């Protein structure tokens, strides 16, 4: 029988203690995998986001701090007076020099509101949009079902919003007491729009008593798109001359959000490192107690001819196998936790994908935790004399 087989047989014999160790390893691996996968998802979500904006310039209220915008920049708390729109258009036109260059302005009004959708009221982001200008700016915006609204009391639902609440065409959603008929279902774009309710701009303003206010102004212009210096000049000019607003290029916007997410995830990563350290310490304690309860077994193995290196092989194989299994269980658990986190909290909408590099990281972390926690007690016990192992009361 090989030494490794001896080690594996022992894992199965000590099911309870092996399981206990396994749990202690699975937890940090799962948390680490969750953080890494979420980081990865946030990264691709933001890349998608930058490419999906389709806008040259984004203007939002000055008071909107980075930490108050949600996943893709939906600010539902601060507003800009609508009159600013003309002023911004005027300044952009002066900067681009060519008066024939077309400027498309898309304004949106956002509000977090409980919406009666299907049987239940659910917290939703209601977007007041001008469907005509939206489609002009984003011709790729398409419906999977139905048509674009033609009346003030019609709405379009994000694909995920409709499917998750089992809402079909011609059903009604009630926003702030007013019923809207579902005219169309939007195609999923893996963005927060998949989770929104879109209704005519003016109607939504009225519903929330915010006529004359907008949440965000998006500008589309070919000249600015082509010339980054010109775009930067426009951003600076608007920020300098129009009070209480912040103009950003989509790139800046993404960077801003990315920085926030990165900071958050770095913080979480630090927590994970601390968790791993605490886990290693607790695994160390468990291992020490388990190993000390095996001192007589070590004495027996030595007495039948096991050398120190053979003992190290047996015990390290045993605990490294547990570490490896911990990594193998921890990673899928991390995937599941990422899915839950994304579905119920972050809503990055990028889906959960297996990342082979992170599988490797999870396995290595599992093995590392196990090795770091077990190597010292194993080393120490492998040095114990046969006579001491039988003389001493080591039972743990």
Partner 1 sequence: MDNSNGTAFLELKNVNKTFNLSYGEVTALEHVSLTINKRELVALVGPSGSGKTTLLNIIGSLDRPSKGEVILEGTRIDTLSEEELVHFRREKFSFIFQDAKPLRMLNVLENTLLPFNFFKPKNRNGNIRNEGIEIIKSLGLGHRLYHMPSQLSGGEIQRVAIARALITHPAMILADEPTANLDRDNRLFVIETFRKLSKEKDIAIVLSTHDLEIANRADRIVHLKDGVFLKDEAIACPPCKV
**Binding footprint of partner 1 on the chain (CB under 8 A):** 1-3, 6, 9-10, 12-13, 296-297, 299-301, 303-307, 310, 385-387, 390-391
198 forms bridges with which residues in the sheet?
Answer: 127, 156
d(CA 380, CA 312): 10
Whose Cβ is closer to partner 1: residue 174's or residue 387's?
387
> What totals of helices (H) and strands (E) does the chain contain, helices first?
13, 12
Whose Cβ is closer to partner 1: residue 8's or residue 116's?
8
Residue 248: strand, helix, or coil: strand
Least distance from C-beta 326 to partner 1, angstroms?
21
Least distance from C-beta 287 to partner 1, angstroms?
18
Residue 33: strand, helix, or coil: helix
Whose Cβ is closer to partner 1: residue 138's or residue 294's?
294
d(CA 48, CA 289): 50
Other CB atoms within 10 A of residue 11 CB: 19
What angle (nearest 5°) sits at the alpha carbon of residue 245, between those of residues 240 and 247? Answer: 70
List phi, psi (to 5°) of 142: -130, 160
Whose Cβ is closer to partner 1: residue 376's or residue 390's?
390
Least distance from C-beta 396 to partner 1, angstroms?
15
Whose Cβ is closer to partner 1: residue 240's or residue 391's?
391
Least distance from C-beta 388 to partner 1, angstroms?
9
Least distance from C-beta 307 to partner 1, angstroms?
5
Whose Cβ is closer to partner 1: residue 299's or residue 323's?
299
Least distance from C-beta 300 to partner 1, angstroms?
5
Least distance from C-beta 288 to partner 1, angstroms?
20
d(CA 66, CA 60): 11
Tokens of 222: 């070919």
Q: Are 157 and 143 in contact (CB under 8 A)?
A: no
* H-type alpha helices, 186-303: 201-207, 222-226, 228-241, 250-292, 295-303
Residue of 345, 347, 339, 324 lying closest to 25 (CA atoms): 324
Q: Are 345 and 298 in contact (CB under 8 A)?
A: no
Whose Cβ is closer to partner 1: residue 151's or residue 309's?
309
């Amino acid at each position: 029988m090989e030494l490794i087989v001896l080690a594996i047989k022992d894992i199965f014999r000590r099911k309870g203690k092996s399981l206990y160790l396994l749990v202690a390893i699975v937890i940090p691996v799962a948390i680490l995998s969750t953080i890494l996968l979420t980081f990865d998802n946030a990264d691709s979500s933001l890349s998608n986001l930058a490419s999906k904006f389709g806008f040259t310039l984004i203007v939002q209220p000055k008071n909107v701090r980075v930490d108050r915008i949600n996943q893709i920049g939906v600010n539902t708390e601060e507003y800009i007076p609508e009159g600013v729109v003309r002023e911004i258009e005027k300044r952009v036109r002066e900067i681009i020099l060519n008066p024939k260059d077309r400027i498309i302005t898309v304004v949106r009004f956002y509000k977090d509101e409980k919406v009666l959708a299907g049987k239940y009221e659910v917290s939703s982001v209601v977007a007041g949009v001008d469907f005509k200008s939206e489609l002009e700016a984003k011709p790729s915006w398409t419906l999977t079902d139905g048509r674009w609204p033609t009346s003030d009391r019609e709405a379009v639902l994000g694909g995920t919003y409709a499917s998750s609440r089992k809402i079909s065409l011609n059903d009604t959603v009630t926003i702030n007491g007013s019923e809207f008929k579902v005219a169309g279902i939007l195609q999923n774009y893996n963005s927060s729009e998949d989770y929104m309710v879109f209704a005519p701009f003016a109607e939504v303003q009225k519903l929330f008593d915010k006529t004359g206010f907008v949440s965000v102004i998006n500008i589309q212009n070919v000249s600015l798109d082509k010339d980054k210096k010109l775009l930067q000049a426009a951003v600076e000019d608007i920020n300098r001359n129009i009070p209480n607003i912040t103009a950003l290029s989509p790139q800046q916007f993404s960077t801003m959000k990315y920085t926030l997410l990165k900071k958050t995830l770095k913080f979480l990563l630090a927590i994970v490192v601390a968790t791993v350290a605490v886990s290693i310490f607790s695994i160390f304690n468990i291992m020490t107690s388990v190993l000390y309860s095996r001192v007589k077994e070590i004495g027996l193995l030595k007495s039948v001819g096991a050398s120190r290196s053979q003992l190290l092989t047996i015990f390290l194989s045993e605990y490294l196998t547990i570490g490896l299994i911990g990594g193998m269980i921890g990673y899928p658990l991390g995937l599941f936790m990422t899915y839950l986190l994304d579905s119920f909290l972050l809503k990055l909408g990028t889906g959960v994908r297996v990342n082979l590099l992170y599988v490797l990281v999870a396995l290595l972390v599992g093995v590392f935790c196990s090795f770091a926690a077990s190597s010292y007690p194993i080393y120490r016990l492998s040095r114990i004399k046969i006579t001491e192992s039988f003389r001493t009361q080591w039972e743990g």
